[in-house]
Amino acid sequence: MMRTRPLKVALLGCGVVGSEVARIMATHSKDLAARIGAPVELAGVAVRRPGRVREGIAPELITTDAAALAGRGDIDVAIEVIGGIEPARTLINTAFENGAGVVTANKALLAEDGPALHEAAEKHGVDLYYEAAAAAAIPLVRPLRESLAGDKVNRVLGIVNGTTNFILDRMESTGAGYAEALEEATALGYAEADPTADVEGFDAAAKAAILAGIAFHTRVRLDDVHREGLTEVTAADIASARRMGCTVKLLAICERAADGRSVTARVHPAMIPLTHPLASVREAYNAVFVEAEAAGQLMFYGPGAGGAPTASAVLGDLVAACRNRLTGARGPGESAYAQLPVSPMGEVVTRYHLSLDVADKPGVLAQCATVFAEHGVSIDTVRQQGKEGSEEGASLVVVTHRAPDAALTATVEALRGLDTVRGVASIMRVEGE
Amino acid sequence: MMRTRPLKVALLGCGVVGSEVARIMATHSKDLAARIGAPVELAGVAVRRPGRVREGIAPELITTDAAALAGRGDIDVAIEVIGGIEPARTLINTAFENGAGVVTANKALLAEDGPALHEAAEKHGVDLYYEAAAAAAIPLVRPLRESLAGDKVNRVLGIVNGTTNFILDRMESTGAGYAEALEEATALGYAEADPTADVEGFDAAAKAAILAGIAFHTRVRLDDVHREGLTEVTAADIASARRMGCTVKLLAICERAADGRSVTARVHPAMIPLTHPLASVREAYNAVFVEAEAAGQLMFYGPGAGGAPTASAVLGDLVAACRNRLTGARGPGESAYAQLPVSPMGEVVTRYHLSLDVADKPGVLAQCATVFAEHGVSIDTVRQQGKEGSEEGASLVVVTHRAPDAALTATVEALRGLDTVRGVASIMRVEGE
């Protein structure tokens, strides 16, 4: 049954992920051939720095001309693991135009330009696979677009960025502040020299856009995702969370509205109960809950980043794309038929934990409670306490019932206008209850 | 793009799962059509009791002649949710012979006769999908045979039977004995009137066979799976586990041997540390760990049984089979190229917790320790304690280091031959460390 002419793979990028892809292709070539039904070989590897020694890759395969490699007519599947928007986008389109299927791990590009990429793949009759763009080796894209294809997904909620989870885990377990925990993450290689994409939530937001798009059969772009990073999370927030029986996680949350007519996607730090399975996700691990009408609540857990786990997902997609190549089939394309509107953050309904610095005099609580009531935000619990290190002030910790985000924003604005409120020390959403 | 002639589906069986499949097909027909690219309609529903009222199913679709329905030439996909070996096997083969793809939830049949079914599907050029046969809606089959197709799976370890997990959870949380917990499970509908398939581990063993086969690209039959149920687990075992910082779970464990040349598959109760994520899987939930070379450790969690979750998996497969039907493609077939031998239980290497009733006199510990040493089983910890309710005896609780199961069996036999050993109160493997 085995075809002997090998399938040809162009590897675009040979960094942490690409070098693992090349290594596994070399060491597991027999297994890959048996699973695909034909041998598969590297036809070329596009790199930026050709001088570097690359173990296991024949030097004659190395090229700095990625465009020429992607444009070769004999490539069956191109693997794009360069990342970022350009030149990745142009290279992927070049591969499509030359009849190659594409496997990519590029979350930023998919979140920015996924629909156009899907259209180009469709036009040229080739595959576009991107399991590695969601949470590395944790199967999420395939379960959402295939396993749950007969179900109705109502919510995707998870930890999809390992760097920020590592930082929050350290803040939680050692009491360290954000800066100190970031320093440790950088020293241990969990955070990049420029950690912006992770700590400001861009990486998680791109994944949220991809997952929401697949889950809701709707186009969701990065700009549609409300995004807050964790740079403002303080040791005090984490201590407050602990007092509530909660911990703080940076969550990506994609939800179908209760009436089913719209969806939302957001990334922000949130308190979740310690009893919630996401609360025990440690270090740089990722975990994602998927709630579907018939399936109920599913959870997927694993390493959400790293060279080898990302390569595992890339190679799973490579096997699928190669099998399709042999049989003339195509994998599932874009499914955006539902075209649900993506609502702004103001329409998200959730709960809040607020910490207010107030004057320590009678009537303050009543005054604040009135502001909440006027904005239709119902209070669940309130705790008044003397403020540490101050004889004059007090602190008011309020947890609300579920309310629209816009109502909460207006409430906070009005609270800030009160003479007796000296400041809003923190606002954090409470999820997973 | 949408084809207007509908794809025709034969539903073989209309019990708990089948009726959910029919309900979702009726209520979500537009979504299914959009995702498939063509409308899909029920062409007939084979039932045993035609008199029963079946909400949402047109009476003229109901038939008691399942063979005639499966044998109709116009069926695109047959869904088999009858369960058991016959008539399910004959009906599936009839469907194949008549050119229909098949989606089944039948773990018993797949574990007994999977290779023959795969061959028949292959011969007739049609699909065989069975995600629902592993753990209902929890995606396991697709992740293992597609997402991890480029990786090397070394171990699958999990809780794959909800009934037994419910029973053990109740024993753990209430201190109840097995009989009492089973009674509660039956009353609440978690256990069937005849609970044999669940409590004796047959259901879990069938799933282990299916998962091991896919994970290791090797044919694994039900007979290859070592199987012990939980009927012998006592409240005392659970109390012992607790003293060790463990809990007791019925685990399915599929492992590649350290040298990579053979595999094992087994189902038995085992102690696992309370810190292990599987320890916190409550009630009738399922959770499965998959360890792969590149991906690392992944976990999949969710409801592993029930009408709606099983229907979700069936419908995901239905969408895949229908898409293939439209494009003339086929899903992945059997992958058994590795043909690794399945080793017997005696070659499994793991740790053990033993509780011995011994005479309370000097030298007993030394005598027992000698027996362990003679069989090459190294002791990790031993605890000697006066036996409750007896002034004459004592109890010796031994936890071993890792050793082959055969060595342990021989050790226990030899211990039973000692005058000073009055009985072996319990033997349990310790996993997940």
Does the pLDDT of residue A187 top 90, yes or no? yes
Position B52 scores a pLDDT of: 83
Position B361 scores a pLDDT of: 84
Position A387 scores a pLDDT of: 62
- B113 falls within a domain: yes
Residues 210-239 of B with CB under 8 A from A: 217
Report the mean per-residue pLDDT for chain B. Answer: 94
Give the CA distances from residue B184 to residues B32, B161, B166, B198, in Å, rounded to whole numbers and listed in that order.
39, 16, 9, 15
Residues 151-190 of B with CB under 8 A from A: 151-152
Average pLDDT over residues B289-312: 95
Do B282 and B241 fall into the same domain?
yes
- A336 falls within a domain: no
Average pLDDT over residues A203-212: 98
Q: Is B292 or B331 the better-scoring residue by pLDDT?
A: B292
Do A172 and A147 fall into the same domain?
yes
**Residue B168: helix, strand or coil by DSSP?**
helix
Average pLDDT over residues B284-303: 96
Average pLDDT over residues A278-292: 94
B90: which residues sit within 8 A by CB, 6+ positions away?
B67
Question: How confident is the model over B344-363, as pLDDT tens digits?
Answer: 999 999 999 999 999 988 88
Closest CA to B8 of B47, B53, B61: B61
Distance CA B100, CA B70 (A): 8
Closest CA to A17 of A66, A83, A77, A76: A83
State percent of chain A over pLDDT 90: 88
Does the pLDDT of residue A392 top 90, yes or no? no
Do B47 and B172 fall into the same domain?
no
Closest CA to B206 of B227, B233, B182: B227
Do B354 and B408 fall into the same domain?
yes
Question: How confident is the model over B68-122, as pLDDT tens digits?
Answer: 999 999 999 999 999 999 999 999 999 999 999 999 999 999 999 999 999 999 9
Distance CA B220, CA B240 (A): 34
A60: which residues sit within 8 A by CB, 6+ positions away?
none
DSSP symbol at B387: P
Position B2 scores a pLDDT of: 62
Tell me which chain B residues have a C-beta less than 8 angstroms from the C-beta of A142: 139, 142-143, 146-147
Edge-first strand listing for the sheet containing B62-63: B62-63, B40-46, B7-12, B77-80, B101-104, B128-129
Question: How confident is the model over A77-108, as pLDDT tens digits?
Answer: 999 999 999 999 999 999 999 999 999 999 99
Does the pLDDT of residue B4 top 80, yes or no? no
CA-based Rg of chain B, rounded to a whole angstrom? 24
A153: which residues sit within 8 A by CB, 6+ positions away?
A144, A215, A216, A256, A290, A291, A292, A293
- Enumerate the β-bridge partners of residue A265: A254
Position A323 scores a pLDDT of: 95
Position B116 scores a pLDDT of: 97
Task: Encode burial over B253-283: b for 16+ CB neighbours within 10 A, e otherwise.
Answer: bbbbbeeeebbbbbbbbbbbbeebbbbebee
H or E element that contains A84 = none
Average pLDDT over residues B246-256: 97
Position B281 scores a pLDDT of: 93
Does the pLDDT of residue B387 top 80, yes or no? no
Do A188 and A167 fall into the same domain?
yes
- B317 falls within a domain: yes
Number of domains in chain A: 3
Distance CA A173, CA A180 (A): 13
Report the mean per-residue pLDDT for chain A. Answer: 94
Could you tell me the CATH number of the domain that includes residue A94? 3.40.50.720
Whether the CB-CB separation of A332 and A145 falls below 8 Å is answered with yes
Using CB atoms, which residue from A147, A309, A319 is nearest to B296? A309
Whether the CB-CB separation of A336 and A163 falls below 8 Å is answered with no
Q: Where do we find the tokens 């041997």?
A: B257
State percent of chain B over pLDDT 70: 98
AA identity, residue A177: G
Does the beta-carbon distance from B150 to A298 stay under 8 Å? no
Average pLDDT over residues A284-298: 96
**Would you list which residues of B are annotated within the binding site?**
12-19, 107, 192
Distance CA A349, CA B78 (A): 42
In terms of C-beta density within 10 A (0-12 exposed, 13-18 middle, 19 or more buried), how is residue A147 classed?
buried
- A207 is a catalytic site residue: yes
Residues 43-72 of B with CB under 8 A from A: none
Single out the residue in A244, A268, A302 at which a domain terminates: A302
H or E element that contains B132 = helix B132-135
Residue span of the structural domain in which B149 resides:
141-303
- B247 falls within a domain: yes
- B117 falls within a domain: yes
Nearest-Cα distance to chain B for A274, in Å, is 13
The answer, yes or no, to whether ipTM is higher than 0.90 is yes
Could you tell me the CATH number of the domain that includes residue A284? 3.30.360.10
- B336 falls within a domain: no
Q: Are strands B263-273 and B226-227 parallel, antiparallel or unpaired?
A: parallel
Single out the residue in B272, B292, B327 at which a domain terminates: B327
Does the pLDDT of residue B388 top 60, yes or no? no
Average pLDDT over residues B247-266: 96
Closest CA to A145 of B28, B210, B142, B65: B142
Does the pLDDT of residue B54 top 90, yes or no? no
Question: By the CB < 8 Å criterion, does A103 face chain B?
Answer: no
A107 annotated ligand-binding residue: yes
Tell me which chain B residues have a C-beta less than 8 angstroms from the C-beta of A306: 296
**Residue A265: helix, strand or coil by DSSP?**
strand
Do B116 and B44 fall into the same domain?
yes
Whether the CB-CB separation of B11 and B46 falls below 8 Å is answered with yes
Position B422 scores a pLDDT of: 94
Using CB atoms, which residue from B293, B298, B330 is nearest to A138? B298
Question: How confident is the model over A230-250, as pLDDT tens digits?
Answer: 999 999 999 989 988 999 999
